């Protein structure tokens, strides 16, 4: 589930949730390290004299990663419009925070202990106390999806990952500065419901997977970032997509369904008379259910240019 949060959900979700958790977790840790050059995957679709670019994003990154240069910079500067996964305005953040508050906690008569086996319940209490300072009385109120996301986000943030350094936010700031049109493929509500609108059994499977991986958090995170930075489609598929496919319900909701929902909008951008730069989580573009394969199945010539 750590990879699901990092690679499948939009930057605005991550930022909105982070700001609602910051009182609990404290500020993110940031370490100054040597510059790392990344070459994330970039595809191009030509239609007449206009082009549509598809960039695989990592929504939060350490501040020392350099990726905005070369063909990515040239392609972005040529674009008329930036298309992100969802609305990343202040209103979008407020909408997400409202949905979190509404859907994050059990009502009277139920609690998290009823939905975890004894071993994972104790693991949850240990991590909730260690990374968020939550006592059992507070932790037990969280629904499984919310506890999984809290643990993932706080662990990510405390490791030095930064939403302001993520691909989406960085390009949004450039687009605002350059006066480019900015639009989204889905609403904040649609994005949130893909994560939270699941039976408690499915949510609990997501949480147990998160708990099992937190002990090797750095190993998982390093592998996800390295796959993204390599730009290797096969490596992205094996590292991110196949990991998520082990949870079929989440895979269907967070990746497959969203890809199919986005496809008509992406086709409309390809068909219009603008040069468009589309940025989605890297896992959405690769693998058997990826956007690149879906576009090719519809007859588009999608060329990988990085």
Model pLDDT for residues 277-301, shown as the tens digit of each residue: 999 999 999 999 999 999 999 999 9
User: What burial class does residue 43 get, using C-beta atoms within 10 Å of its C-beta: 0-12 exposed, 13-18 middle, 19+ buried?
Assistant: buried
Q: Is pLDDT at 207 greater than 50 in this prediction?
A: yes
Supply the pTM of this predicted model.
0.85
Q: Is pLDDT at 11 greater than 90 in this prediction?
A: no
Domain that holds residue 142: 2-304
Q: Is pLDDT at 7 greater than 60 in this prediction?
A: no
Kindly indicate the confidence band of residue 20, based on its pLDDT and cuts at 50, 70 and 90. Answer: very low
Burial 46-75 (b: 16+ CB within 10 A, else e): ebeebbbbbbbbbbbbbeebebeeeebeeb
Per the prediction, the chain carries an average pLDDT of 87
- Tell me if 185 sits within 8 A of 265, measured CB to CB: yes
State the total domains in the chain.
1
Q: State residue 74's pLDDT score.
A: 98
Query: Distance between CA atoms of 255 and 283, rounded to whole angstroms?
Result: 8
Please name every residue paired with 50 in a beta bridge, in sequence order, or none if there are none: 47
SS (H, E, C) 250-277: HHHHHHHHHHHHHHHHHHHHHHCCCCEE
Kindly indicate the confidence band of residue 8, based on its pLDDT and cuts at 50, 70 and 90. Answer: very low
Q: What is the pLDDT of residues 134-167, one digit of tens each?
A: 999 999 999 999 999 889 888 887 777 777 788 9
Query: Distance between CA atoms of 147 and 213, rounded to whole angstroms?
Result: 14
| 176 vs 60, more confident | 176
- Tell me if 88 sits within 8 A of 12, measured CB to CB: yes
């Amino acid at each position: 589930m750590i990879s699901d949060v990092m690679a499948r959900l939009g930057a605005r979700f991550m930022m909105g949730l982070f700001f609602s958790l910051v009182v609990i977790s404290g500020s993110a840790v940031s370490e100054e390290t040597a510059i790392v050059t990344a070459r994330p995957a970039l595809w191009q679709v030509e239609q007449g004299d206009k082009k549509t670019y598809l960039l695989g994003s990592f929504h939060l990154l350490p501040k020392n990663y350099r990726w905005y240069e070369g063909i990515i910079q040239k392609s972005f500067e040529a674009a008329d419009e930036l298309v992100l996964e969802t609305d990343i305005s202040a209103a979008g953040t407020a909408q997400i925070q409202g949905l979190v508050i509404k859907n994050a906690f059990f009502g009277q008569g139920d609690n998290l202990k009823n939905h975890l086996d004894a071993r994972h319940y104790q693991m949850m209490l240990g991590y909730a106390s260690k990374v968020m300072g939550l006592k059992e009385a507070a932790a037990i109120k969280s629904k499984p999806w919310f506890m999984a996301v809290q643990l993932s986000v706080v662990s990510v943030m405390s490791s030095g990952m930064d939403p302001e350094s993520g691909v989406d936010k960085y390009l949004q700031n450039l687009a605002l500065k350059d006066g480019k049109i900015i639009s989204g493929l889905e609403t904040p509500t649609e994005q949130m419901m893909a994560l939270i609108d699941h039976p408690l059994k499915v949510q609990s499977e997501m949480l147990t997977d998160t708990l099992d991986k937190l002990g090797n958090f750095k190993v998982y995170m390093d592998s996800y970032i390295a796959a993204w930075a390599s730009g290797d489609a096969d490596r992205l598929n094996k590292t991110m997509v196949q990991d998520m496919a082990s949870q079929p319900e989440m895979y269907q909701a967070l990746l497959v369904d969203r890809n199919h929902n986005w496809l008509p909008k992406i086709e409309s951008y390809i068909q219009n008379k603008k040069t468009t730069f589309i940025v989605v989580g890297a896992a959405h573009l690769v693998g058997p259910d990826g956007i690149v394969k879906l576009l090719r199945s519809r007859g588009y010539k999608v060329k990988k240019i990085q």
